[in-house]
A = this chain, B = another copy of it.
Amino acid sequence: MSKANIFYAQSGGVTSVINASACGVIEAARQSRAVGRVLVGRNGILGALNEELIDTALESKRDIAMLRHTPSGAFGSCRYKLKSVAANRLEYERLVAVFRAHDIGYFFYNGGGDSQDTANKVAQFSQDVGYPVQCIGIPKTVDNDLPFTDTCPGFGSVAKYVAVATEEAGLDVASMAASSTKVFVLEVMGRHAGWIAAAAALAAKSKGDPPHIIILPEVAFDPARFLQKVATTVAKKGYCVIVASEGAQFEDGRFLAESGGVDAFGHAQLGGVAPTLVDMIKAKLGYKCHWAVSDYLQRAARHIASAVDVAQAYAVGEAAVNLAVAGESGVMVTIERQAGIRYRWRVGKVALSRVANVERKMPKSFITRDGYGITTAGLNYLRPLIQGEDYPPYKDGLPQYVRLKNQLVPKKLPKFKMS
């Protein structure tokens, strides 16, 4: 019998290191005599449903190696969540049909919580219908909200981006504050958890350094208390740097970003937490303010990736192959932090059934009593994750990121009609 192929798919929002995981999968598979080719879903799981399978055997060794330093999803990702088997059995049958047609014995799903849930369901279903596929979850999310893993590949690099941006913009504001801008607000990602905003706290090298206020989704936003803190900070330091999570919300659960009005064209303002906060500050305190929204820049910023994050992203991809070869299924690769003062980590695993749909919140012990800062415990957790630089090669002043050929294997099945 020929060796079974691996099907690998990227899922959800991409990161600056998800391709490093792909690189780990493909390089490990190429070195293993136990597995066949790595086929990759074009645009994630949609590629499996549409039988659009990219043949990575056609990519050069050099191009695959370049994946390690290329941000975004090199094969395309997607926001598409499979429903339950009961709700859409046809999709699961289609997946298994495609897997069967292309000798796929392993399914590696590289994503966040939803993807781990899907991998678990596919593992179960494929077994139930008599074509057991070994399903391995590869963790990925800038949100850092997967349970049972010390961190999620993708997060460390966003954390580093946010810490560096806060340090740099903080110096800028400090040097202008005497006669100009007094308040700077940086909006960062994190709809449900404040991990990314928390990472800004790493920028402070001494007490009183920026960021002076961190707005976390975990702490109900109180405008009066916030404005008081801004005023106190400006009075004391001469300026105030604020880092706000896009998920910041009022006591009643409304997002700050949704509090905008209508624009000149009569439709609802997109908002953004940063301009909302700035409007409040200008109206009540009258300070000159500046604001930035980093959006995709933060998760695409491979040029300032964390070396630890890149190494972990590669390792979880590589580990998926090793686990598969060892006969494992229904597990997600994890990062385990080892005990000791010096940061050391290794890969581990956890049953997908335990991971599915569990969201890891930031512990209360990481948030200072006033709700605007990160404790020493939080900093000790975060600091190792941004260590080390891992610069991409440059040519002509720009990073050299790879674009793969992404050639599809010939289709063998009739077209599938998506529901």
Contact = CB atoms under 8 A, between A and B. Distances in A.
A171 B43 contact: no
Nearest to A47: B178
A168 B262 contact: no
A386 B280 CA distance: 38
A264 B278 CA distance: 13
Given A70-B171, A165-B297, A386-B398, A275 B272 contact: yes
Given A76-B175, A78-B180, A179-B80, A280 B265 contact: yes
Contact of A269 (B72, B168, B169, B263): B263
Nearest to A180: B79
Contact of A263 (B72, B172, B261, B301): B261
Interface residues of A, number: 86
A222 interface: no
A63 interface: no
Interface stretch (A23-31, A53-61, A288-296): A288-296
A297 B165 CA distance: 6
Interface stretch (A132-140, A302-310, A317-325): A302-310
A369 to B, nearest CB: 26
A70 B175 CA distance: 12
A13 to B, nearest CB: 7
Contacts of A163: 397-398
Contacts of A279: 263, 265, 267, 269-270
Stoichiometry (number of copies) = 2
A264 B44 CA distance: 39
B265 A270 contact: no
A397 B179 contact: no
Given A164-B398, A394-B389, A77 B176 contact: yes
Given A202-B397, A279-B265, A179 B43 contact: yes
Q: Is the interface of A mostly helix, strand, loop or mixed?
A: mixed
Interface in A239-261: 259-261
Interface string A99-135: 0000000000000000000000000000000000000
A383 interface: yes
Nearest to A264: B259
A66 interface: no
B265 A262 contact: no
A14 interface: yes
Contacts of A173: 296
A71 interface: yes
Interface string A153-195: 0000000100111011101111110111000101000000000
A279 to B, nearest CB: 5
B401 A397 contact: no
Contacts of A300: 165, 168-169, 171-172
Contacts of A178: 43, 46, 76, 78
Contacts of A267: 279, 282-283
A169 to B, nearest CB: 4
A186 B176 CA distance: 24
A29 B266 CA distance: 59
A370 interface: no
Contact of A171 (B71, B165, B203): B71
Contact of A203 (B75, B203, B278, B398): B398
A80 B176 CA distance: 11
A388 interface: yes
A276 interface: yes
19 contacts: A46-B179, A73-B176, A77-B176, A164-B303, A168-B297, A168-B399, A259-B263, A260-B264, A261-B264, A261-B269, A265-B280, A267-B282, A270-B291, A291-B295, A292-B295, A293-B293, A294-B297, A303-B304, A387-B397
Given A167-B398, A167-B399, 11 more contacts: A43-B178, A75-B175, A76-B176, A205-B398, A259-B264, A269-B279, A291-B295, A294-B297, A297-B297, A383-B396, A387-B396
